[in-house]
Chains A and B, each alone.
Chain A
Amino acid sequence: MSTSAKIMVDNLGRRTVKDKLFKGLVALLSVVTISPIVLIIYELVAKGIKQISFDFIIKTPPDTFEAMTALSNGELIPGGIANGITGTLLMVVLASVIAIPVGVITGIYLYENPGKFLANLTRNVSDILQGVPSIVLGLIAYMWIVKPITSGFSALAGSVSLSIMMLPMIVRSTEETLKMIPQTIKEAALALGVPYYKVILRVLIPTSFSGLLTGILLGISRVLGETAPLMLTALGSTIINLDITKPTSAVPLLIWEFYNDPNMVDLIWSSSLFLMAMVLTLNLVSKRIVARTK
Chain B
Amino acid sequence: MNDNLVKIKDPVLSIRDLCVSYDKGKNAVDNVSADIKRNAVTAIMGPSGCGKSTMLRAINRMHELYENIETTGNLILNGKDIADMPTIQLRRKVGMVFQRPNPFPTMSIYDNVIAGFKLNGIRLKKNERNEIVERSLTDVTLWDEVKDTLHKKGSFLSGGQQQRLCIARALAFSPEVILLDEPTSALDPVATSKVEDLMVKLKENYSILMVTHNMSQAARISDYSMFMYLGELVEYGKTKDMFTNPKDRRTEEYLTGKFG
Chain A residues engaging chain B, CB cutoff 8 angstroms: 182, 184-185, 187-195, 198-199, 202-203, 206-207, 209
A188 and B106 form a contact (CB under 8 A) = no
- Which residue of A182, A195, A209 contacts B102 across the interface (Cβ within 8 Å)? A182
B227 within 8 A of A: no
Size range of the chain B interface in the assembly: 20 to 34
B73 within 8 A of A: no
A184 and B120 form a contact (CB under 8 A) = no
A193 and B89 form a contact (CB under 8 A) = yes
B92 within 8 A of A: yes
B91 within 8 A of A: yes
B160 within 8 A of A: no
- Determine how close the nearest CB of chain B comes to the CB of A60; give it in whole angstroms: 45
- Bound complex: CA A194 to CA B107 (Å): 16
In the complex, chain A residues whose CB is within 8 Å of the CB of B102: 182, 184-185, 187-188
- Bound complex: CA A204 to CA B116 (Å): 15
- Determine how close the nearest CB of chain B comes to the CB of A132; give it in whole angstroms: 34
- Which residue of B65, B91, B106 contacts A192 across the interface (Cβ within 8 Å)? B91
- Determine how close the nearest CB of chain B comes to the CB of A62; give it in whole angstroms: 51
- Bound complex: CA A193 to CA B100 (Å): 19
- Which residue of A188, A191, A198 contacts B60 across the interface (Cβ within 8 Å)? A191
B60 and A207 form a contact (CB under 8 A) = no
A187 and B169 form a contact (CB under 8 A) = no
Chain B residues engaging chain A, CB cutoff 8 angstroms: 60, 62, 65, 87-92, 95-96, 98-100, 102-106, 115-116, 118-121, 166, 169-170, 173
- Bound complex: CA A193 to CA B119 (Å): 9
- Which residue of B91, B95, B100, B173 contacts A190 across the interface (Cβ within 8 Å)? B91
Name A202's closest neighbour in chain B (CB-CB): B119
B62 and A193 form a contact (CB under 8 A) = no
Name B88's closest neighbour in chain A (CB-CB): A193
In the complex, chain A residues whose CB is within 8 Å of the CB of B104: 185, 188-189, 203, 207
In the complex, chain A residues whose CB is within 8 Å of the CB of B65: 187, 190
Name A199's closest neighbour in chain B (CB-CB): B119
- Bound complex: CA A182 to CA B90 (Å): 24
- Determine how close the nearest CB of chain B comes to the CB of A197; give it in whole angstroms: 11
A207 and B98 form a contact (CB under 8 A) = no
Highest count of chain B CB atoms <10 Å: which of A188, A190, A192: A192
Offer 25 A-B interface pairs, CB within 8 angstroms, sorted by A: A182-B102, A184-B98, A184-B99, A188-B102, A188-B104, A189-B104, A189-B119, A190-B91, A191-B60, A191-B62, A191-B91, A191-B95, A192-B92, A192-B120, A193-B87, A193-B88, A193-B90, A193-B116, A193-B173, A194-B119, A195-B120, A202-B119, A207-B104, A207-B106, A209-B106
Name B119's closest neighbour in chain A (CB-CB): A194
- Bound complex: CA A199 to CA B102 (Å): 14
In the complex, chain A residues whose CB is within 8 Å of the CB of B98: 184, 187-188, 191
A193 and B120 form a contact (CB under 8 A) = yes
Name A115's closest neighbour in chain B (CB-CB): B67
In the complex, chain B residues whose CB is within 8 Å of the CB of A195: 88, 120
In the complex, chain A residues whose CB is within 8 Å of the CB of B121: 198
- Bound complex: CA A43 to CA B116 (Å): 57
- Determine how close the nearest CB of chain A comes to the CB of B161; give it in whole angstroms: 16
